[in-house]
Amino acid sequence: MNTKTQTSSHAHSAPIAVIGGGVLGALTALTASHQGIEVLWFAPPEAGRSDGADARNYALSPLTVDLLKRLGVWPSLEQSSCLVSRMEVYSGAARIDLSASDAGTEFLSVMLLHRDLLNGCEQAVKFRPQIQRISHRPDQLTITPEGVTLTAEERTYSAQLIVGADGARSWVRAQAGILWGQRDYAQQGVVATFRTEYPHGGIAVQWFDEGDILALLPLADPNLMSMVWSTSRPEPTSEMVINEFAARIGERTSGRFGALTLEGEASSAPLRMMLTDRQSSLRTALVGDAAHTVHPLAGYGLNLGVQDLLSLEDIWKSHRTDPGAAAALTAYEKARHRRVRRVQWSLDVLQRLVSQNHPTFLKIREFGMRVVANTGPLRQFLIKQAISPQ
């Protein structure tokens, strides 16, 4: 049955309702529309997010870039993106170089600013007549075996499936009664942009130092780099700490980028791994941070959400008449639950390993890094895991 015909009798009805005006919400609406499925997208404009996402730069994996190309978002983003061709990882005196050419790919990841990515998605939505954007948060949700009913601004909407893409504090998750828990890393993720004296050359740098994890990532401007610093230092965003830290970065990178000057303000967010009991329930699916969060040490968060979406896309192909059917949601749960958990726990173990500060541990870590640095196949394996994780 054609989904459009099936729902046209109800002015505020569509097979899928997506909640969340972030990147994952926009991509979910776009993905459904490319399947020919009509969508109600509840997306109040993001204005001045208080969690620092505006200053965040995503390291997008090749899988994510492929999706953006398929959805027609990529052409508007290409200009403002930066291809990362090499990554240098340091711990003490040890160093590993990971390069795209080692794995026979063009790039390791693509750097893009949150605001540019979201704008690109929002522009693409305007060309999709299947998407009806509602600029309000829903205030009520009723879920029955037949479908969901939502109200917003005194209007009633109905759908066969509700997709919660409403972030780590998901309202949809709470309404659907999906249980969750979290591990607090007792660290802040500090995000800042630095202007460098010398061009960065598309090279990303990461190091593990005194329990902190620092990533310095190249941006489209050849003299701008984005920093993600995971630290337990108190008041890490104060001007004094950031300036002192910029000087330390200069020393650690042997001045290769020259002097670093803070552009704009630094922001921070507490780092947590959030796990959900399930990623779906009756007529409900969760994607992105609504379903899981991870430590940002591998730049994985958004990419993990895109993998949720790729699973849904696959499932919708064989459930066009009712994307919220129990069989579709069971397939989604099967496709994602274990994989997401595996990624979450792998990153958690990695975080524990690289945050250890005991001298014996440091020696073991440096030894491990030297082994990786001198073993081509191991390096290739690491790159493959980083760019197209299974």
> Is 323 a binder of ligand FAD (CB under 6 A)?
no
**Which of 83, 262, 269, 350 contacts ligand FAD by CB under 6 A?**
269
Q: Which amino acid is at 164?
A: G
> Is 46 a binder of ligand FAD (CB under 6 A)?
yes
**Which of 38, 122, 212, 289 contacts ligand FAD by CB under 6 A?**
289
From 169, 58, 66, select the one nearest 113 (Cα to Cα).
58
Q: State how beta strands 13-19 and 39-42 pair.
A: parallel
The kind and range of the H/E element at 312 are helix 301-317
Judged by CB under 6 A, the number of residues near ligand FAD is: 32
> Is 344 a binder of ligand FAD (CB under 6 A)?
no
As measured in angstroms, the least distance from the Cβ of 26 to ligand FAD is 8
Task: Tell me how crowded residue 93 is: count the other CB atoms within 10 A of its CB.
Answer: 9
Compare residues 137 and 183 and give the one whose CB is closer to ligand FAD: 137
> Is 56 a binder of ligand FAD (CB under 6 A)?
yes
Residue range at the interface with ligand FAD (CB under 6 A); choices 32-40, 50-58, 155-163, 176-184: 50-58
**Which of 18, 53, 94, 331 contacts ligand FAD by CB under 6 A?**
53
Q: State how beta strands 203-209 and 86-91 pair.
A: parallel
As measured in angstroms, the least distance from the Cβ of 234 to ligand FAD is 17
On whether the CB atoms of residues 248 and 162 are closer than 8 A, the answer is no
> Is 191 a binder of ligand FAD (CB under 6 A)?
yes
Residue 244, classed as helix, strand or coil, is helix
As measured in angstroms, the least distance from the Cβ of 349 to ligand FAD is 19
| Beta carbons within 8 Å of 262's beta carbon, 6+ residues apart | 192, 193, 194, 239, 242, 243, 246
**Which of 25, 147, 236, 323 contacts ligand FAD by CB under 6 A?**
25
Residue range at the interface with ligand FAD (CB under 6 A); choices 10-18, 197-205, 235-243, 298-306: 298-306
Q: Which of residues 26-45 bind ligand FAD (CB under 6 A)?
A: 42, 44
Q: Which long-range contacts (CB under 8 A, 24 or more apart) does 363-369 make?
A: 365/91, 365/92, 365/94, 365/208, 366/91, 366/92, 366/93, 366/94, 367/94, 369/89, 369/91, 369/94, 369/95, 369/96
Q: How far apart are CA 51 and CA 268, in angstroms?
A: 7
Q: Which of residues 205-234 bind ligand FAD (CB under 6 A)?
A: 228
Residues near ligand FAD (CB under 6 A) are: 19-25, 42, 44, 46, 53, 56, 58-59, 137, 165-167, 171, 189, 191, 228, 269, 288-289, 296, 299-303, 305
